Amino acid sequence: MKGLSFSLSSLRAAFASGVRAEDVAREALARADACNDPAVWISRFEDEEVLSRARALDELPSEARARMVLFGVPFAVKDNIDVAGLPTTAACPAFAYQPKESAFVVKRLMEAGAIPLGKTNLDQFATGLVGTRSPLGSPRSVFNHDYISGGSSSGSAVAVAAGIVSFALGTDTAGSGRVPAAFNNIVGLKPSRGLLSTRGVVPACRSLDCVSIFALTVADAGTVFDAAARFDGQDVYARARMPETPRSLGEGFTFAVPRASDLQFFGDDEAARLFEEASERLEELGGRARWIDFSLFAEAAALLYDGPFVAERTAAVGNFIEAHEAETDPTVRGIVLGGRKREAVETFEALYKLEALKRRALTLFTDIDFLVVPTTPTIYRVDEIAAEPLKLNSRLGIYTNFMNLLDMAGIAIPAGIRASGKVAGLPFGVTLCAPAFSEGKLCELAAAFETAQALVPGGPMPPSAPDEDFIELAVVGAHMSGLPLNHELTSRGAMFVERTKTAPRYRFYALAGGPPFRPGLVRVAEGGSSIELEVWRVPRSAFGSFMAGVPQPLCIGTLDLVSGRSVKGFLCEESGLDGAEEITSFGGWRAFMASKAEKVPG
């Protein structure tokens, strides 16, 4: 149970074998408690309330349970979406209020059997793509805590990527449901505007806002979307879902790719390489690539923040921010109140321009099926964002900002792990997008890409894979993300699960020799501590070759985690401690190596 994947297919199999919704809820709560990123949650339901909901589901007749497509599935909700029983803060405590009822979309998901754990962190008032604009902390990428999680739906993406919940709701106005997916190697579905009701959502740009879905797989995102996409007659921006023409990949497809001169990666050569490989993979699936002038999409994107559309954010929360300046994020405050400078004539001129761009885009899509773009051009460290918050945030939106303005749907999917450079070990993603009401087609194509990507060296293993197909492995040294030996995992298709700690019964050593410098973890009967580690899912078929490369005195044994569960992991034979330096006090390999670097002059 403790090693169970929370993908929907794994949970269905577990429930069919006799696992109860209460069992899954207890495990989700344990994972939430064990998560080593304290900024993920803004508020959570009391454990007993979560368990009570789960028990109520377990007591339903089998026929009723069978009708619930999300029976017993744990999920999280971005804290600008109302959930009855918890405050809505939009990451601004002074703004907090107690909603009388849950948002329409949350109700639909709970009726389908899903169980909410709580509300997740975000860039304040959903203004940002970085995840650092919250007074309640900055969630970090699950791959490397030095790097941003992406925003604004930061906590929701991390809750899914860390395995705490099966899916999470975000919102997406400029890319907030896609950028965090890319930075955490998960799926981010941004449906067409109006298909998921925004009643009960704190508006950012009300005419553009979408509720988005983070999930472990494309199939999971599609299932959640199907359950939530119900027309809401009380939402003035709601639209009914339109039927899609059935299609088959066997018929082939045509996809657009921005021409090379239009692509920007800001020095991230690995992102450029992975995007080129993603385009080649689509061709291998039967696609025909067409390189296009990307300028119309760039022109539309510029309207969002460089044009008068920012005034819609002012209309949403400008009065509140003016009355509570000291209690709001200064970057968010500057962006939102900047809308006061926009004029009505400028707004109409922008609307006319946007309609012309929409017509050009629709003409383009008459003979292509979808456009593929990098989800983001690169990724940044938290300290880099702090130094240049506006400039770097703007860069992250160059492939996302246009989509809601042009009335498009999109799905962000993992497309590989960077193998070298300063961002080695961090994930990269692409987004498939097409005009509104194309969710089914996009999910079909994205699922095919997901399967193909999982089969290539370095491709992530799909979380929907049966549990017996992989082995969870804890690594404590140079195999961790971004460190010199991490490629030995990623090249075998291993996928990051979580960053956590051992139970407090280990001592830690820096072994003699190197490079590469290696740590040794030794279990002790008393006097032990908790040591930082990462858990990776390694395909069972590749585990033997990985073990063959483990040198003495290291070995693979069973490690106890702080959460109480056990996994396979690196241990050290006591005979290998001759000449070793004890480094238990550092709490982990990264902290020890950082201390060594600080002692090097220059």
pLDDT, tens digit, for every residue of 350-385? 999 999 999 999 999 999 999 999 999 999 999 999
Dump pLDDT digits (tens) for 123-179: 999 999 999 999 999 999 988 889 999 999 999 999 999 889 999 999 999 999 999
Query: Would residue 244 count as lying in a domain?
Result: no
Query: Whose CA is closest to 227, among 446, 8, 408, 19?
Result: 8
| Mean pLDDT computed over 541-564 | 87
Catalytic-role residue among 9, 102, 153, 176: 176
| Mean pLDDT computed over 56-66 | 96
Is the pLDDT at 545 greater than 90? The verdict is: no
Same domain, 397 and 433: yes
Per-residue confidence band for 233, with pLDDT thresholds at 50, 70 and 90: very high
Query: Would residue 248 count as lying in a domain?
Result: no
Mean pLDDT of the chain: 92
Q: In a 3-state reduction of DSSP, which class is residue 409?
A: strand
Enclosing domain of residue 335? 1-239+257-419+428-458
pLDDT at 306: 85
Residue 545 designated active-site: no
Same domain, 145 and 195: yes
Beta strands in 341-461 (DSSP E): 370-374, 408-417, 427-435
Same domain, 133 and 85: yes
Question: Cα(83)–Cα(417) distance, rounded to whole angstroms?
Answer: 35
pLDDT at 264: 97
Query: Would residue 245 count as lying in a domain?
Result: no
Residue 176 designated active-site: yes
Query: Would residue 75 count as lying in a domain?
Result: yes
Catalytic-role residue among 7, 78, 149, 438: 78
Q: CATH number, domain at 589? A: 3.10.490.10
Is the pLDDT at 85 greater than 90? The verdict is: yes
Question: Cα(577)–Cα(400) distance, rounded to whole angstroms?
Answer: 51
pTM of the predicted model as reported, rounded to 2 decimal places: 0.81
Dump pLDDT digits (tens) for 451-510: 888 766 545 544 444 455 688 999 999 898 777 787 788 767 777 777 889 999 999 999
Same domain, 490 and 402: no
Query: Would residue 338 count as lying in a domain?
Result: yes
Residue 52 designated active-site: no
Query: Would residue 283 count as lying in a domain?
Result: yes
| Mean pLDDT computed over 6-15 | 92
Same domain, 308 and 373: yes
Question: Cα(570)–Cα(556) distance, rounded to whole angstroms?
Answer: 5
Overall number of domains in the chain: 2
Q: CATH number, domain at 310? A: 3.90.1300.10
Catalytic-role residue among 152, 156, 192, 481: 152
Is the pLDDT at 602 greater than 60? The verdict is: no
Percent of the chain with pLDDT over 70: 94
Same domain, 498 and 586: yes
| CB-CB contact of 590 with 533 (8 Å) | no
| CB-CB contact of 403 with 249 (8 Å) | no
Same domain, 175 and 304: yes
**Between vectors from CA 558 to CA 557 and to CA 559, what angle results, nearest 5°?**
120
